[in-house]
Amino acid sequence: MTRGTVVCGVTETPDGRSAAELAGALGTRLGLRLVLVHVVDGVPPGTHESLSARQRQAGSERLLHEVARDIGAGTEQRIMVGNRAEALAQVAAEEGADLVVIGSRPAGFGNRKLRSTLARELEAATPIPVVVAPPATRKRTEQRLAVSVGAATP
């Protein structure tokens, strides 16, 4: 039985994939269920069944399957259409999420600050805590995760 749920907003950018890796590591380390969400935005109301919207949704399915395969078994996937912040807040509420993980872009002098407009939008849309994943500078390894999990057990 899991103790909670992490919802992660996934994009096709390296920063979005980095967020998924962090969410996967957190889920594994803390024994939380992981739900990956990709939001297809920019689809005008009433055109969800158009050819271009269906093609974008098919691309989203491929993206989520690929990211889920890289993270590991037990990862759930959802595709939403609409505004990213509203869709992620909706999924987080429906899934009973304890945490929402999203990616960020480096900003500022020397790229030492993080930029995420989505984090500000989510803060207004949901009471669920939002973690902004920094861009990955190296791949999160199973060994690092296993060592920290092994160290935490008495």
- What are the domain boundaries of the chain? 5-152
CATH architecture of 5-152: 3-Layer(aba) Sandwich (3.40)
**Tokens found for residue 74:** 């037990």
pLDDT per residue rounded down to tens, the chain (154 residues):
447 999 999 988 888 888 999 999 999 888 899 999 999 887 767 776 777 778 888 888 898 999 998 888 789 999 998 889 999 999 999 999 999 999 887 665 555 556 678 888 999 899 999 998 887 665 555 554 444 444 444 4
d(CA 41, CA 53): 10
d(CA 101, CA 143): 22
